[in-house]
Amino acid sequence: MTDETASTPRVAIIGAGLAGLTCATALKGFAEVTVFEKAVFVGGRISRYQVGEFSFNHGGQYFTVSNPLFLNLVEAWQTSGLVRPWDGWIVELDNGQLINLEDQTQRYTGYPHMQAITDSLAHHCDVKISSNISEIEKQDDGSWRLFDNRGVYQGLFDVVVIATAAPDVADLAKNIDSIAGPARNIDMTMCWSALFVFEQPLSLPFDAAFVLNSPLSWVARYQEVNPHNEHDQECWVIQASPEWSLQYAASFRGRVMHALLDAFFEACDIPSVKPVTSNVHLWKHALPINTLGQDCVFDDAAALGACGDWCTSPRIEGAVLSGFSMADRVMKYLHRSDDAA
């Protein structure tokens, strides 16, 4: 540990998604934590997207809970108004045919949008947005120096946690094989996600659908998000299947938008209507196809760790639990370093 930080160890977390911010929150009081986020907002794959006056969840749509620790957290979020149970009518949609989804799964959404969860976590953390970390450099005394993509020095840290999608972990930790190696083995899907606002409701009976035999995989109506929506406008999020997204990854956005809109009307078997506003986004690293099978990775000798949904389960719950687990590993490491000093 560096001399000047002997009393309060300094931890850098790269990535202000759910995993990074959960880890940062859990480390509060144990270390001086700085979170670096390359985007202009926090949230990563649960961030919202602004289309005109509307904001949409264009990544994670809802989440489910299976772990008791996560359940406790979700109950606390619910009490503070950050999440709500979501009981929308979800169907399967096969070329206009509705198949009722007979599952009892309790789903939740962030309120008023998913990003509210990470906004709330970030509120209590030191987050540096628009900080694209491109290099982490090990010093002779064991500490790390961080640099952004403009080569600007971003500080000296005792421990670094990379809380990004697996391909970014592999890039950033390229010189530490114990971290980069496992991350390199993770494959991720791509996802084109389109957002459409229609002047009038489309009169579809369901709230969301898993779409079968189509370029699409998921469609969801989105009404509550804009409290100023006095005009009865209706918003839909449309996500393409991983196969289609990969095939059209290099296509022009306008072409993709039209193709997804056509596929939407075809899947719903309703006449096409021109949207008043639309946008489309490609998630280059949407969901891990395989996972590591352990909650996080940490190399004590390097004082470097990595966490995220690619570690155990490719969903919101997995990202949060991985962030907690990473904080636990860092705390153990810091205690051992204290004992050895």
Residues within the interface to ligand FAD (CB under 6 A): 14-20, 36-39, 44-46, 59-63, 131-133, 163-165, 168, 191, 193, 239, 283, 286-287, 308-309, 314-316, 319
Structure tokens at 237: 């999020």
Tally: H helices and E strands in the chain: 8, 20
Question: Whole-number minimum distance, CB 200 to ligand FAD, in Å?
Answer: 27
Question: Whole-number minimum distance, CB 134 to ligand FAD, in Å?
Answer: 6
Structure tokens at 142: 């064991």
Question: Whole-number minimum distance, CB 236 to ligand FAD, in Å?
Answer: 14
Q: Measured from the CB atom, is 61 or 143 closer to ligand FAD?
A: 61
Alpha helices in 124-271 (DSSP H): 166-172, 177-184, 242-247, 253-268
Question: Whole-number minimum distance, CB 313 to ligand FAD, in Å?
Answer: 8
Question: Whole-number minimum distance, CB 3 to ligand FAD, in Å?
Answer: 28
Closest CA to 1 of 341, 319, 237, 262: 341
**Kindly report the CA angle at 176 between 174 and 179, in degrees rounded to 5?**
90
DSSP codes joined into one string, 4-50:
GGSSS-EEEEE--SHHHHHHHHHHBTTBEEEEE-SSSSS-GGG-EEE
Question: Whole-number minimum distance, CB 172 to ligand FAD, in Å?
Answer: 6
Q: Measured from the CB atom, is 280 or 302 closer to ligand FAD?
A: 280
CA–CA dist 240, 276 (Å, integer): 21
CA–CA dist 134, 33 (Å, integer): 19
Task: Please name the residue that has the structure tokens 């560096």.
Answer: 2
Structure tokens at 29: 């009081």
For residue 219, the SS3 value is: strand
For residue 123, how many other CB atoms are within 10 A of its CB?
Answer: 11
Q: Measured from the CB atom, is 303 or 311 closer to ligand FAD?
A: 311
Q: Measured from the CB atom, is 107 or 138 closer to ligand FAD?
A: 107
Contacts 24+ apart (CB under 8 A), 140-144: 141/2, 142/1, 142/2, 142/303, 143/1, 143/2, 143/303, 144/12, 144/303, 144/304
Question: Whole-number minimum distance, CB 76 to ligand FAD, in Å?
Answer: 18
Tell me 3's DSSP state: G
Q: Measured from the CB atom, is 224 or 338 closer to ligand FAD?
A: 224
Q: Measured from the CB atom, is 160 or 302 closer to ligand FAD?
A: 160
Q: Would you say 323 and 217 are in contact if contact means Cβ atoms under 8 Å apart?
A: no
Question: Whole-number minimum distance, CB 17 to ligand FAD, in Å?
Answer: 2
Q: Measured from the CB atom, is 1 or 219 closer to ligand FAD?
A: 219
Output phi, psi for 123, to 5 deg.
-55, -30
Question: Whole-number minimum distance, CB 107 to ligand FAD, in Å?
Answer: 8
Q: Measured from the CB atom, is 36 or 56 closer to ligand FAD?
A: 36
Closest CA to 46 of 22, 29, 71: 22
Q: Measured from the CB atom, is 22 or 143 closer to ligand FAD?
A: 22
